[in-house]
Structure 1
């Protein structure tokens, strides 16, 4: 049976929740939608008080209001009931939680390199043994992530792509582009990871921090 394809109207609302401060083009690219259609649906959602548009300097994007978060969670819950996927997503979230703790530790190790005199010393990336250990841990987490998301992708199309995006970011790190580990400005390992976490929380209606 092919994976369930979510309603574009639902994805236009869900996109800002998962992606954060998101443009119509970014939402459209993530879910394979038409950019103009996404923009039209966002404008409709805005009239209902579900999303708001904000501009900062040269950037602009959409985000959910509290009412929009509630509506998004209602729709995601309805989709789970429609597809019978609630148990599958709940199980995947349960497997993700310990991975998330490991990922947080690995990201800390990428950012900090403690010394005998400075336990919070920044990692200057001159200790290749330290960085290689971190990168091996990131690669292992990528394989574990795929084991969690692959069953989800076979059920819900909108949950596809996370493992591939993570692997693509890690490949860029392997080619010396260090910012692809944790930069919020690109589709880094960290960006992909937190988006999946937010996707699972929104889908199951769990408040961030309540699954730690």
Structure 2
């Protein structure tokens, strides 16, 4: 069975929810869409009050409003039912949750290395054994993430690519580009992970706080 392809109008509304805040070209690139087509859809959604525009740190982009989030969740729920993918999405999310908890701890270990005098001391990356342990954990999580999302990616095409993007970021880390562990504004392991998390929440209509 080939993975189902989401409707373009659904993807255009869903992308800024997943990305958080993004210009038109980034939204288009995320799903391989035509930028002009994406812009037309976004302008229409803006007129409906589903998306808005803002400028941040010298960059302008689109964000989803509360009304847009509700509409996006309605569309994602309808898509799950249309393609018979609800059970596989629920299973993927259940597999993801324990990985997510571990990922949070690993990211903390990358940023913080406690000392005898300061339990919250910043990791200055001088302890090679500490960092190597963290990087091994990131690699293990990448393999487990691939397994956890494989069935869902095989059912819904828009979930295909998360595991590969995570692996690509990890390869950059292995090459010495440490910013690809948790850097903001680039395709870091943390960025990819957070986007997948948001995608699962939006797809299943789960409020983020409900996980706690």
TM range (shorter): over 0.9
The count of corresponding residues between Structure 1 and Structure 2 is 212
Matches within 5 A, 1:125-144: 125-144=125-144
Matches within 5 A, 1:106-145: 106-145=106-145
Matches within 5 A, 1:82-101: 82-101=82-101
SS, match of residue 55 in structure 1 = strand
- Alpha-carbon separation, structure 2, partners of 1:16 and 1:57: 17
- TM-score computed with the length of structure 2 as normaliser: 0.98
1:19-74 C-alpha deviation (Å, 9 max, x unpaired): 01111111111111101111110000001000001123520110010000000000
- Alpha-carbon separation, structure 2, partners of 1:27 and 1:160: 16
1:61-111 C-alpha deviation (Å, 9 max, x unpaired): 100100000000000000000001001000110010000000000000000
Deviation of 1:148 after TM superposition, in Å, equals 1.1
Q: Which residue of 1 aligns with 2:50?
A: 50
- Alpha-carbon separation, structure 1, partners of 2:52 and 2:71: 14
- TM-score computed with the length of structure 1 as normaliser: 0.98
Q: Which residue of 2 aligns with 1:59?
A: 59
- Alpha-carbon separation, structure 1, partners of 2:211 and 2:151: 21
Flag structure 2 segments of 5+ consecutive residues without an equivalent: none
Deviation of 1:187 after TM superposition, in Å, equals 0.6
Q: Which residue of 2 aligns with 1:198?
A: 198
Q: Which residue of 1 aligns with 2:184?
A: 184
- Alpha-carbon separation, structure 2, partners of 1:56 and 1:105: 29
Cα RMSD after superposing both structures: 0.7
- Alpha-carbon separation, structure 2, partners of 1:92 and 1:57: 35
Q: Which residue of 1 aligns with 2:172?
A: 172
